[in-house]
A and B are shown apart, each in its own frame.
Chain A
Amino acid sequence: NAGVMQNPRHLVRRRGQEARLRCSPMKGHSHVYWYRQLPEEGLKFMVYLQKENIIDESGMPKERFSAEFPKEGPSILRIQQVVRGDSAAYFCASSPRSGGNYEQFFGPGTRLTVL
């Protein structure tokens, strides 16, 4: 089991472009979480998804950000019209079930730089 995979590891975009971040959960995991880590800050929850469903998006900015976890393929975090303030590390985690008893396994993160 290769663990949670994220790609790309580093992504550079100019202001106004779109950023697509991919997360492949661990085999057998159907729950995916996205977090953002701004420089010198802790992890901030963004969104929690199960296959084909958004369960909790209370941490997602209202505009420009969207996430999906299709029946087939990786989960995608999409940021439209990026701005400099979007520069951060974005981490994905997966778990086999929801709830507190199940550990979240983290990916290595995608570091987004907006020029």
Chain B
Amino acid sequence: AQRVTQPEKLLSVFKGAPVELKCNYSYSGSPELFWYVQYSRQRLQLLLRHISRESIKGFTADLNKGETSFHLKKPFAQEEDSAMYYCALSGSVHGQNFVFGPGTRLSVLP
């Protein structure tokens, strides 16, 4: 069964500090991993996906199949990064649904 865990419900860091939001998954096949973000009063939107291997707003995430992790990192947090972050997994089988983690609320303090 597909499962995504995000161990931290809330993560607080100071502006300029590095931030890492943890995500672990379980899936027997080849998963597609995503990070979605929801800023205050905005709709959920895609932040990045592992197949793109890109950096968005300074965030990167590397898929580690050995550790079944897809942690989201940013070297220097900004106050505007404060938001709810969801890790999500999609199976490679047709018709598989998305599975979202419970989310981590990131609070960047001034």
Does any Cβ of B come within 8 Å of A85's Cβ?
no
Complex contact A109–B91 (CB within 8 A)? no
Which of chain B's residues have a CB closer than 8 A to the CB of A109? 43
Please report A residues at the B interface, Cβ cutoff 8 Å: 4, 33, 35, 41-45, 48, 55-56, 58-59, 91, 93, 98-101, 103-104, 106-109
Complex contact A101–B51 (CB within 8 A)? yes
**In whole Å, how far is A101's beta carbon from the nearest beta carbon of chain B?**
7
The residue in chain B whose Cβ has the minimal distance to the Cβ of A95 is B98
Which of chain A's residues have a CB closer than 8 A to the CB of B94? 98-99
18 contacts between A and B (CB under 8 A): A33-B97, A35-B100, A41-B102, A42-B6, A43-B44, A45-B98, A45-B99, A45-B100, A48-B97, A56-B95, A56-B96, A100-B32, A101-B32, A103-B49, A104-B46, A104-B98, A107-B43, A108-B43
Complex contact A48–B95 (CB within 8 A)? yes
**In whole Å, how far is A83's beta carbon from the nearest beta carbon of chain B?**
23
Contact of B86 among A43, A58, A59, A99 (CB under 8 A): A43
**In whole Å, how far is B21's beta carbon from the nearest beta carbon of chain A?**
13
The residue in chain A whose Cβ has the minimal distance to the Cβ of B32 is A100
Which of chain A's residues have a CB closer than 8 A to the CB of B44? 43, 91, 93, 106
Which of chain A's residues have a CB closer than 8 A to the CB of B91? 100
Q: Which of B2-53 contact A (CB under 8 A)?
A: 6, 31-32, 34, 36, 43-46, 49, 51
